[in-house]
Amino acid sequence: MNAYRIKGKGRVDQRKPVRFSFNGTAYTGYEGDTLASALLANGVHLVGRSFKYHRPRGILSAGSEEPNALVGTDRGNGRFEPNTRATVLEVFEGLNTTSQNHWPSLKRDVGAINDALYMLFSAGFYYKTFMWPKSFWNKVYEPFIRGAAGLGKSPTVPDPDTYASRFAHCDVLVVGAGPAGLAAALEAGRSGAKVMLCDEQAELGGSLLSETNARIDGASGWDWLKAAAAELAALPNVTVLTRATAIGYYHQNLLGLCQRLTDHLASPPEGAPRERLWKVRAKQVVLAQGAIEKPLVFDGNDRPGVMLAGAARSYLNRYGVKVGNRPVVVTSHDSAWLAAYDLAEAGAKVAAIVDVRPEVAGHLKQRAAALGIEMLTGWTATGTSGRLRVASVRVNPISRNGVFGPARTIACDALLMSGGWTPSVHLFSHTKGKLDWNEEGQMFLPGERTEESRCAGAGNGSFGLAAALAEGAEAGADAAVDAGFKAKAATYKVDGEVPLMGVSSRELTTDRNASKAKAFVDFQNDVTAKDIRLAVREGFKSIEHIKRYTTNGMATDQGKTSNINGLVIASDAVRRPAPAVGLTTFRPPYTPTTFGAFAGYNRSELFEVTRKTPIDVWAEENGAVFEPVSLWRRAWYFPKPGEDMHAAVTRECKTVRETLGMFDASTLGKIEIVGPDAAEFLNRMYTNAWSKLGVGRCRYGVLLGEDGFIRDDGVIGRITSDRFHVTTTTGGAARVLAMMEDYLQTEWPDLKVWLTSITEQWAVIALQGPNARKLFEPLVEGIDLSEEGFPHMSVAEGRIYGVPTRLFRMSFTGERGYEINVPARYGRAVWEKLFEAGQQFGITPYGTETMHVLRAEKGYIIVGQDTDGTLTPEDAGLGWAIGKSKPDFVGKRSLSRPDMLKADRKQLVGLLTSDPNTVLEAGAQIVLDPNQTLPMKMVGHVTSSYWSGTLGRSIALAVVEGGRAREGATIHVPMPGRTHTARIVGTVFYDPENKRLSA
Amino acid sequence: MVDFVWNVRSPLQQAVMPGRAGAIVPFAGVKLAEIRDFDLVQIFARRGQREATAKAVKKHYGVDAPAPRQAVSAKGATLIWSGPDQLMALSARKPGTFRPVDALRESFEGIASLSDQSDGRCLIRMSGLQARAMLAKLTSVDLHDSVFPVGTAATTSIDHTAVNLWRSENSEDGSPVFNVLVFSSFADSIWHTIVDAAAEYGIEIETRSAASV
């Protein structure tokens, strides 16, 4: 059934076949297969097209580092994912997969023309090739490049899956369950520490899963693994997570693990989350991430069938799959010889082992000779052939003095390469741990640590099973001890392991013209050795710049197989040692992670928190339309049957102006400022003077930043001599409190003042309109509501309906107004009572839109709408609110800077359109001369604009350069299709004498 | 004086629906209760008055003020540490009390600032055998017995929203009991977040008066 599967070999369950499809063709694999192993078992090597040149590509690796074998996976019901690594994806019955990046088909791809035109696509080609004519960039070149670029297709429907997340805490977290990680987890687990062990693969074992020779304590590697897994499973203090990738290592030993829960299941349980993001806080961390094999860089090293030797060994030993019947090995490292032996023993005809080293250990040769494998030591690979699959490799001998001998072509159906191994230091680097360059191994190793972490095994540069077990056990025991437990590292006896050596090579030397070689460094981004050298020639010296110019190490694999090769090639080209050239930054996540995992539960209704007032439910029950205002949802308007927004708002405005309206102002920020120095504190924070504000009186206050620009505003009432009730804007509440705390703690610690947020404590009902007093005068106890006893801008405490209230007389509409603060739990009841009692006056509830219109008619600003962080009080027409005689307040110095005093600063003005029915768009740009050529000189913009039913015409507020001096002038607002004209007027459109405040 | 029947309303009035919710299982893994009718006063020791405030607490409530990260039960009240030099005093509301601060004013005059937050917070109690598993989805605090025994308090966040979290005596079935005070305006959202997190374990929902717990 599987032409390349060896019966009975490997760890897949050959009794359990699963059917899946790739590009519409049905294939069979077995439970335990990855898509890659199952395709290889069927003799399929061609799985995709490369990013830039659309070259046919195969499977390079057997792990999460895979740069080439990216497929689109369809798990049904809208569950489509691009760029899934075939080497990670587990096959299941009914899996549908497709290759990417080609048209019309994988085997015949028109885009491969790019391969022939490769001269045009060298490093930085998009900066150079498409420069002329200039006008072509936007319309022709960029759309073309963008259309041709990109990996995979985006899903077109919302992700139907759900995602889970949770926090976890442990004494020791072990990342990686290869031999080092297992040994560490066993040691820590036996000590009684709370241990978590995670591994990105479906089963524990790491490199042990591909190892068939060595024996541990007399048992085979797999038997030892089975026993270790069983022991860990039996320890109640140990949690083992498979399919869980440690994606990031953050401060104070917080690690993110993304666990795949259902992607491997043919029929996931209904409602089961697809993935779970674990946020693990560990006292101690053991990193046993292992190592990733390096490709060799030579011409044609990217054809399908060319793969890492270690991967071929994994496919054979773990999955029972021969990657070819006639493989050739080309290597600079001993480990590839093991792949040759294993394949030969499994019945493949290994055509040759080509080793670039002139000499290799005798025992390697003996075994190869015994297996009848031809050995070419001191030879190099200089080319390959085969369009959709490698067919041959061209090799040359090199003499000791570097002279090339004649080329020889060796037929093969798989080419297995190894350039040595790169320790995975990704997570260690996330912590900003220092990396030390190891010249002998040509690798970076973990150095000085910044977190409570240890590295063990191949990830620490300690290669081989015996070293991994010993170092893992020691790290596990030490971690447990540091977490407060007693532990002593066990020792393991390992047999059958041979020491493995190698040299690290740059691009393999060639007898051909190196500038024509397609010797790939980064397979995913089609970056060749000559691209890197070109970048250096063009002046790039920093590895970070070289990376961005060539794209080496970018995209989904983040250069796991290419970074070190790229670095050493760059280091040679710039003639500086590798550590001086440096390494690009490792950033989370370690492997591609779904947005769903990060979002977790925060989707749809739970996307973010919504704040609601005590009156929110009443508004909902009474047909309010809501709008979001910072985190709050606020009633926007209350349409009656048949009314649209315009009609509802016009009616609400008219009712407030003529009789009475009520408004839920509970969202306003409220801060209580208490203490003997409260007035002095306010003097220093706000622009206004507060010392002389009498008890029971209120004042409008303006808060600036140090830069002199308006930050917030609100009405402040003095409840007692040492107690102020400060209101802030809805969106500014938390910011203002934090700013006050900051000043109090850092600038004026001598002031005896205490701040408390009381936003949540009070429900606030604004009663506005000429009948406001009439309505509630009979309802209020303990406050003299007469004009003399309680004039505009007063505050008093008393009771309404018997409920304690903090009553303000203030207006944001220009009408007589009161704001009734009652403890939140009574908010709705008092509101309902007032609404009921207000029926005699035809009361209307109104929302934020009516509030906006009414305040705009009066020219009252909204901070953040009419101001944008660059307006001074003077600009906003609030110069009167500045206590000029005060010695200081936040922002005072800035207000005297020359730039702040310029006459042509943007100032807030009113606008009346020539056509009273035209309502300008808020944000529209204002120009003085509409006939000027583009781009026009903009002198300001519209900040607020409404239809004013009261005035029977539109009104607008705007900021205009030198606006107040231009009063009466005509300005223009160019909009698509037509240009509006308007006259600059004052900001108060209605009742400028403020007669209605006491009407 | 207007004749008026009180209709006190919790911010969770609409959200909390007593009964079973979530997965259909024989025994609800999580029990959620909204505790109503409580008074809550925040007590801030003034600068340099930590000792004096602690003494006043001892005198007023008959117990030592809670140490950092602690909540203590006193006669008629629970005192919850809520930050350096500050604590929350939680008690069942006495009928007719409007201003719980009044009863404390004398004890803390001049040494601590008092702030009535009775309406500023909602109190949600979570218990059941799966309460801890459910909370692991919501809070970064380690709630393991060895780290968070009965009487531990934390000022932390749930879903980016500030909360006071503390553990009270285990329930009769031996499962842990956790309480959270959440800002009233956030309560509706947080309640739905909690219910969503608890759904897979099966939920039993109730409302209780503070006087009955």
pLDDT reported for residue A226: 98
Mean pLDDT confidence for A457-471: 97
**3-state secondary structure at position A863:** coil
Which residue of chain A comes nearest to B13, CA vs CA?
A: A617
The minimal CB distance from B10 to the residues A672, A756, A825 is found for A825
Which residue of chain B comes nearest to A666, CA vs CA?
A: B185
Do A287 and A429 have their domain in common? yes
pLDDT reported for residue A909: 98
In a domain? residue A504: no
pLDDT reported for residue A722: 93
In a domain? residue A611: no
Q: Give the mean pLDDT of chain B.
A: 92
B 108-147 → A contacts, CB under 8 A: 113, 115-121, 136-137, 139-142, 144, 147
Per-residue pLDDT band for B1 (boundaries 50, 70, 90) equals very low
CA distance A249 to chain B (A): 16
Model confidence over A312-343: pLDDT tens digits?
999 999 999 999 999 999 999 999 999 999 99
Determine which of B17, B117, B189, B193 to mutate to test the interface with A (most A C-beta atoms within 10 Å): B189
Which residue of chain A comes nearest to B117, CA vs CA?
A: A761
What ranges in chain B are assigned the alpha helix state H? 50-61, 101-108, 131-135, 184-198
- In A412-452 the beta strands, taken as DSSP E runs, fall at 414-418, 421-423, 435-438, 443-446
Model confidence over A595-650: pLDDT tens digits?
999 999 999 989 999 999 999 999 999 999 999 999 999 999 999 999 999 999 99
Q: How far apart are CA A27 and CA A36, in angstroms?
A: 12
Per-residue b or e along A232-249, where b marks 16 or more CB atoms closer than 10 Å to that residue's CB: beebebbbbbbbbbbbbb
pLDDT reported for residue A149: 66
Model confidence over A427-451: pLDDT tens digits?
999 999 999 999 888 999 999 999 9
DSSP one-letter string for A596-643: HHHHTT-SGGGSS--B--TTHHHHHHTTPEEEEETTEEEEEE-PPTT-
Rounded to the nearest 5 degrees, what angle is found at the Cα of A933, between the Cα atoms of A931 and A937? 85
Task: Say if B19-36+120-212 and B38-118 have the same CATH topology.
Answer: no
Name the fold adopted by B38-118. Answer: Alpha-Beta Plaits (3.30.70)
Per-residue b or e along A283-303, where b marks 16 or more CB atoms closer than 10 Å to that residue's CB: bbbbbbbbbbbbbbbbbbbbb
Do A318 and A287 have their domain in common? no
CA distance B115 to chain A (A): 7
Q: How far apart are CA A960 and CA A986, in angstroms?
A: 12
Domain interval for residue A693: 668-758
CA distance A863 to chain B (A): 23
In a domain? residue A657: no
Model confidence over B100-127: pLDDT tens digits?
999 999 999 989 989 899 999 999 999 9
Which residue of chain A comes nearest to B137, CA vs CA?
A: A166
How much of chain A is helix, strand and coil, in % rounded to 5?
25, 30, 45
Q: How far apart are CA A613 and CA A636, in angstroms?
A: 13
| Residue bearing the bigger pLDDT, A136 or A467 | A467
CATH code of the domain covering residue A366 = 3.50.50.60
pLDDT reported for residue A146: 67
Last residue of a domain, one of A461, A487, A513: A487
Phi, psi of A295 (to 5 degrees): -70, 160
**3-state secondary structure at position A422:** strand
pLDDT at A306 over 90: yes
The minimal CB distance from B185 to the residues A168, A613, A674 is found for A613
Query: What letter would DSSP give residue A110?
Result: G
Structure tokens at A924: 């529209």
In a domain? residue A773: no
Per-residue pLDDT band for B94 (boundaries 50, 70, 90) equals confident
Contacts of B99 in chain A (CB under 8 A): 804
**In one letter, which amino acid is A957?**
L
pLDDT reported for residue B2: 40
The bridge status of strand A780-781 relative to strand A215-216 is: unpaired
Name the maximum alpha-carbon separation found in chain B. 57
Per-residue pLDDT band for B185 (boundaries 50, 70, 90) equals very high
Cis ω before A133 (30° cut-off from 0): yes
Q: What counts of helices (H) and strands (E) characterise chain B?
A: 4, 12
**3-state secondary structure at position A460:** helix
In a domain? residue A946: yes
pLDDT at A525 over 70: yes
Do A116 and A183 have their domain in common? no
Determine which helix (DSSP H) or strand (DSSP E) holds A477, and give its type and residue range.
helix A465-482
Phi, psi of B49 (to 5 degrees): -110, 20
pLDDT at A296 over 90: yes
Model confidence over A749-796: pLDDT tens digits?
999 999 989 999 999 999 999 999 999 899 999 999 999 999 999 999
pLDDT reported for residue A127: 66
Burial class (CB in 10 A: 0-12, 13-18, 19+), A23: middle
Do A239 and A309 have their domain in common? no
| CATH 3.40.50.720 fits domain B19-36+120-212 | no
Mean pLDDT confidence for B183-189: 96
pLDDT at B162 over 70: yes
**In one letter, which amino acid is A826?**
Y
pLDDT reported for residue A504: 84
CA distance B14 to chain A (A): 8
Model confidence over A904-940: pLDDT tens digits?
999 999 999 999 999 999 999 999 999 999 899 999 9
The answer to whether A723 contacts chain B (CB < 8 Å) is no
Is B1 in Cβ contact with A823 (below 8 Å)? no
CA distance A823 to chain B (A): 6
pLDDT at A886 over 60: yes
Determine which helix (DSSP H) or strand (DSSP E) holds A180, and give its type and residue range.
helix A179-190
The minimal CB distance from B4 to the residues A194, A602, A802 is found for A802
Q: How far apart are CA A389 and CA A56, in angstroms?
A: 8
CATH code of the domain covering residue A727 = 3.30.70.1400
Per-residue pLDDT band for A147 (boundaries 50, 70, 90) equals low
Are B62 and B22 in contact by the 8 Å Cβ rule? The answer is no
Q: Where are the domains of chain B?
A: 19-36+120-212, 38-118
Is A609 in Cβ contact with B190 (below 8 Å)? yes
pLDDT at B5 over 50: no
Count of domains observed in chain A? 5
In a domain? residue A153: no
Single pTM value for the model:
0.91
CATH code of the domain covering residue A58 = 3.10.20.440
Q: How far apart are CA A780 and CA A802, in angstroms?
A: 8
Mean pLDDT confidence for A540-551: 92
B 9-48 → A contacts, CB under 8 A: 9-11, 13-14, 42, 44, 46-47
Q: How far apart are CA A382 and CA A384, in angstroms?
A: 7
Is A754 in Cβ contact with B46 (below 8 Å)? yes
Do A400 and A444 have their domain in common? no
Mean pLDDT confidence for A577-601: 93
